[in-house]
Amino acid sequence: MSIKESIRTNQLYQLFKTQFLLTIREPEVLFWGMIFPVLISIGLGLAFTQQTESKFNVILVEKNKTELDSLLHIYGKNAQSKEGNILNWKISNKELGNTVFKFSQSDWNSAIISLKRGEADVIVTDSLGKAIYHFDPLNSQSQLAYMKLSALVKSPDSTMNAENTNIEPLTLLGVRYIDFLIPGLIAFGLMSSIMWGISYTIIERRSQKLLRRMVATPMKKSNFLFALMFVRILMNVVESLILLFFAWLIFDIHIQGNIGA
């Protein structure tokens, strides 16, 4: 008997081949193990890597004109909404993303209600021709809106030309959202395989009374477990390689460290 024939008649080889064919013929395994991780990595990767646009709602409660009103007369653009006429002031920035301020007129009581409901970030009143800002100091969104708006009022030209400043966003490989998502999906696949891949297969075959028939044959129990483990390890390697290939192809991801580990 040749070596090739001895391998084909080997019990462990036959168990491995049978388990492998059973695994790849399951549509659920192919979808959840190979297609779904690729789809979720593309969806979340594109969603969290696109340039964001910060939007802030500012309510003007003024009796007299301030320096902010003169700037809105120059940079503001009228827009219609459910609340009525509003002014949009958009600051474009290719590096840090765009910022849009939405200004609307209201009285003090209505402005306070909007602030409590989270519909407004900052309330602006006037005092001797100067703008006074009112916001919740414990609200990070309101703090950011105040800092951006106050800086804009002090120097609108320099802020409008923010892309000319010396800003270097941190976009190095390994610090992006997608660089943490892909290893997490690989780890999730490994945990799912450990928790459900082997144990669920044994339980399913026992419930179908197939395990009892297999034990009645001249089959070593250790060979049966080894076949399950080998197939799961092989499928995990294939799934990880497919996911890494698409991540490299779409997001230019590179493995940081030892590929064997």
Q: Is position 96 within any domain?
A: yes
Closest CA to 232 of 204, 259, 203, 194: 194
Q: Is position 83 within any domain?
A: yes
Query: How would you write the chain as a 3-class SS string?
Result: CCHHHHHHCCHHHHHHHHHHHHHHCCHHHHHHHHHHHHHHHHHHHHHHHCCCEEEEEEEEECCCCCHHHHHHHHHCEEEEECCEEEEEEEECCCCCCEEEEEEEECCHHHHHHHHHHCCCCEEEEEECCEEEEECCCCCHHHHHHHHHHHHHHHCHHHHHCHHHCCCCCCCCCCCCHHHHHHHHHHHHHHHHHHHHHCHHHHHHHHHCCHHHHHHHCCCCHHHHHHHHHHHHHHHHHHHHHHHHHHHHHHHCCCCCCCCCC
Q: Which residue has the tokens 């503001």?
A: 76
Q: Is position 256 within any domain?
A: no
- Quick one: pLDDT at residue 13? 82
Q: Answer yes or no: do 181 and 223 share one domain.
A: yes
Q: Is the entire prediction scored with pTM above 0.75? A: no
CATH number at residue 62: 3.40.190
Beta bridge partners of 90: 100
The residue segments making up the domain with residue 231 are: 3-46+172-251
Q: Is position 257 within any domain?
A: no
pLDDT values of the chain reduced to their tens digit, one per residue, 261 residues: 555 555 556 888 888 888 888 777 777 777 777 788 888 887 877 776 655 678 899 888 877 777 777 788 777 787 766 666 788 888 877 666 788 888 888 888 888 888 888 888 988 888 777 788 888 888 888 888 888 888 888 777 655 454 444 545 545 556 677 888 888 888 888 888 777 777 877 888 888 888 888 878 888 888 888 888 888 888 888 888 888 888 888 888 877 777 777
Q: Answer yes or no: do 117 and 21 share one domain.
A: no
80-103 burial, b for 16+ CB within 10 Å, e for fewer?
Answer: eeeeeebbbbebebeeeeebebbb
Q: How many domains, in total, are found in the chain?
A: 2
- Quick one: pLDDT at residue 229? 86
- Quick one: pLDDT at residue 83? 61
Q: Is position 261 within any domain?
A: no
- Quick one: pLDDT at residue 179? 80
- Quick one: pLDDT at residue 87? 84
- Quick one: pLDDT at residue 260? 72
Choosing from 95, 130, 164, the residue where a domain stops is: 164
Q: Answer yes or no: do 39 and 108 share one domain.
A: no
Q: Is position 258 within any domain?
A: no
Q: Answer yes or no: do 148 and 186 share one domain.
A: no
Q: Answer yes or no: do 128 and 157 share one domain.
A: yes
